[in-house]
């Protein structure tokens, strides 16, 4: 009896392998189908991210902002210099509350506000809106007095008399002296109108000029 040709043997082997592969794939597919949960008609199945419920109390908001500030500034700094004052429900932002704090250092007091999203949000999203909050993002001392800030402004070229505001600047997240000319109406175009001075370092963070028509 003659042995089958080599080409025929190769075809038979390849066909057998392919057939086995198909059987394995079908078997695995059947297993997956058997493991799928059958959902009764009309039953709601959430498809989006897991959501946090709305905040319902000021206490919840304060607990969140306390934790955020302790993580950001350090627990010792928080306990030594910050005191919560209350919660402001913003009528123009119905789903945002502002938690108010006082920061006291070296005889000066500055108000911080931390914006909190009280709406139902994804679980992996922070409720704290840093960009809308008047807060510092690292410990800051208050070392520059009002008189020193005026001197720095004058040396920079800003002439008195001045209007002075001491606050946390949301654009820099720093405590600053904002010093502007009192007689803005007398300035000509591009005259120096004001400066913002860091209350710790004395650095001028921003200088503004009078723009025509401003």
pLDDT digits (tens, 9 = 90+) for 36-64: 556 566 665 556 789 989 999 999 999 99
CB atoms within 10 A of CB 72: 17
Asked if 175 and 140 touch (Cβ cutoff 8 Å), the reply is yes
Q: Is residue 16 a part of any domain in this protein?
A: no
Same domain, 76 and 111: yes
Q: Is residue 115 a part of any domain in this protein?
A: yes
Q: Is residue 183 a part of any domain in this protein?
A: yes
Name the one residue in this structure whose structure tokens are 């919660």.
87
State which residues form the domain around 69.
58-134
Q: Is residue 112 a part of any domain in this protein?
A: yes
Same domain, 71 and 130: yes
Q: How confident is the model at residue 188 (pLDDT cuts 50, 70, 90)?
A: confident
**Alpha helix stretches (DSSP H) within the chain:** 6-35, 58-73, 75-81, 146-156
| Residue whose C-alpha is closest to residue 122's, from 56, 49, 47 | 49
Which of 97, 114, 134 is the endpoint of a domain?
134
Q: What is the pTM of this model?
A: 0.75
Question: Which tens digit of pLDDT belongs to each residue from 122-144?
Answer: 988 999 999 999 999 999 999 99
Complete edge-to-edge strand list for the sheet that includes strand 162-169? 162-169, 174-181, 192-198, 204-209
Q: Does 33 or 81 have the greater pLDDT score?
A: 81
Question: Which tens digit of pLDDT belongs to each residue from 169-185?
Answer: 999 999 999 999 999 88
Q: How confident is the model at residue 16 (pLDDT cuts 50, 70, 90)?
A: very low
| Residue whose C-alpha is closest to residue 198's, from 185, 179, 183, 181 | 179
| Residue whose C-alpha is closest to residue 112's, from 144, 143, 150, 77 | 77
Which of 97, 112, 134 is the endpoint of a domain?
134
């Amino acid at each position: 009896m003659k042995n089958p040709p080599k080409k025929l043997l190769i075809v038979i082997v390849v066909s057998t392998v392919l057939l086995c592969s198909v059987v394995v794939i079908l078997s695995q597919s059947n297993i997956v189908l058997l493991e799928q949960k059958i959902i009764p008609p009309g039953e709601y199945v959430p498809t989006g991210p897991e959501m946090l419920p709305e905040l319902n109390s000021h206490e919840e908001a304060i607990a969140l902002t306390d934790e955020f500030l302790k993580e950001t500034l350090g627990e010792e700094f928080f306990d030594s210099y910050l005191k919560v004052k209350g919660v402001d429900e913003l009528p123009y932002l119905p789903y945002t509350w502002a938690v108010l704090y006082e920061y006291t250092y070296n005889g000066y007091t500055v108000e911080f506000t931390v914006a909190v999203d009280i709406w139902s949000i994804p679980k992996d999203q922070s409720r704290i809106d840093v960009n809308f909050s008047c807060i510092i993002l690292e410990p800051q001392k208050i070392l520059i007095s009002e008189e020193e800030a005026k001197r720095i402004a004058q040396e920079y070229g800003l002439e008195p008399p001045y209007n002075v505001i001491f606050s946390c600047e949301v654009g820099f997240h720093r405590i600053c002296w904002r010093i502007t000319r009192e007689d803005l109406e007398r300035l000509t175009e591009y005259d120096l109108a004001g400066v913002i001075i860091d209350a710790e370092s004395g650095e001028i963070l921003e200088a503004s000029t009078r723009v025509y028509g401003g």
